[in-house]
Structure 1
């Protein structure tokens, strides 16, 4: 039997969940733990296509964007590696999805909730013992007091999802499936999962894994992501090395602590300069990679030109 593709490959993830409405609906209802009577009954995937040049193009997020019958919008994605500015990037895209609902002159009352559902194959919050985090606008002193629930984000840390087989609800079954789908066989599927939609997702994964073209695209996507990680690491290392040299000079005058602080600042700047010179990334991507903000990147770009 041919080895199954990993569901944590974002190409595979998008193919499975953008092509079958039933599977996607069950995933959303399960992870949000929506009551059966008020759960989602239909969704429309807004970006089902995966263009050929997206596969090997670095820094492209292959997310699944859907809207349900009530107008609620969903951004569903899987992240396989940590990004320094992941929280900022996530907030930016969710706010953009929210704002893009209105045309000029339309009433704000027409805005519908935007919900992010992100699966991370790493721990974003390693000092916390949980695996599921739900963020939305709440007052700091009165947590029950909500400004609005129109923008919210669910983060699921996959490394924290390892339960005994006997005690799992539908959400936990999906999480376990993400981690182990590529290892499962017909016998273990029957033993490990009670949700028929997960069995359907497994069948879809088997079919996709048997497709030579799909396997090739999945492998090319995996290579592109590895190249991306190496590319960013090299740029950061070179930038930090050059930055700390500049910081040391200042440190001799103002003390070691100030030198280290200046070194980190200069390191981020040098990283951004290196990436700007390569002319491979957008300003937003460079900001994400370097830890600087967009205005700082724009200023650097102007100075280099």
Structure 2
């Protein structure tokens, strides 16, 4: 539904209003934009393909890429950076000058907490000097919206940004547009699109299969890491058998005494 609401060329005004609220503190910074194909094809053979939810060119030729992520999977934070760097680098054709590169903003909306030490719903990251925090460039900016940290109720919504966050978090459960939110025309239009684009049974089944696949992949990675670590410990234990006693080897490798005895 997210792609249908924000990624359609017919809903350009919705995306403009949403991005102005989230990225520019409700300032009318983005006047117009062009919605692009979110598929990022690699220019070099062997480089991974990238699939985004929404991609657009906004004011000053900046590229905004948007990804909505439901599950926290291993390596997700690196994927965000990879997609941003890729969107930045693929702007150039072979032989073109680097000064033709335009800034990229990667907006990531998560249904889980990414930064547990912070209570901020919206956080922004850029390239800075480590000690005095001077900016390097603003060419790549990472913006995160962590929905679980947004806990305002309907009667507590104060700003347009609050209303957008409430919409993103609650659109699937609301049966009608709350009057206070209907006053914001782009949000009202977004609600209507959301209502019309309820997932079909087939789409729900596909989504469930995707979530199961992600969970299974996550568990398989953890298991593979654990098995790999144990194999490494066994290899080290074998090398130490001739120089250390079994109890010391057990302490150093984490293997049980019985496991080490089976190696002799």
TM-score when normalising by structure 1: 0.69
**8 Å contact kept, 1:113–1:151:** yes
Q: 5+ unaligned residues in a row in structure 1: which ranges?
A: 1-11, 50-58, 261-305
Q: 5+ unaligned residues in a row in structure 2: which ranges?
A: 40-48, 238-245, 256-264
Distance, in Å, in 1 between the alignment partners of 2:160 and 2:253 is 52
Could you tell me which of 135, 139, 149 is aligned with 2:138? Answer: 149
Whether 1:29 aligns to 2:14 is no
Whether 1:231 aligns to 2:216 is yes
Change (3 A) 1:65 1:131: same
Distance, in Å, in 1 between the alignment partners of 2:137 and 2:131 is 16
Question: Deviation at 1:259?
Answer: 3.7
CA RMSD of aligned residues (A): 2.5
**8 Å contact kept, 1:14–1:62:** no
1:249-264 aligned within 5 A = 249=234, 250=236, 254-256=249-251, 258-259=253-254
Question: Deviation at 1:242?
Answer: 2.8
Change (3 A) 1:149 1:254: farther
Larger proportion of helix: 1
Whether 1:163 aligns to 2:148 is no
Question: Deviation at 1:224?
Answer: 2.8
**8 Å contact kept, 2:52–2:65:** no
TM-score when normalising by structure 2: 0.78
Give the equivalent residue in structure 2 for 1:92. 82
Question: Deviation at 1:174?
Answer: 1.1
Give the equivalent residue in structure 1 for 2:171. 181
Say how many residue pairs are matched.
233
Give the equivalent residue in structure 2 for 1:130. 120
Distance, in Å, in 1 between the alignment partners of 2:23 and 2:52 is 21
Give the equivalent residue in structure 1 for 2:93. 103
Greater RCO between the two (CA within 8 Å, min separation 6)? 1
1:66-77 aligned within 5 A = 66-77=56-67
Could you tell me which of 183, 188, 208 is aligned with 1:199? Answer: 188
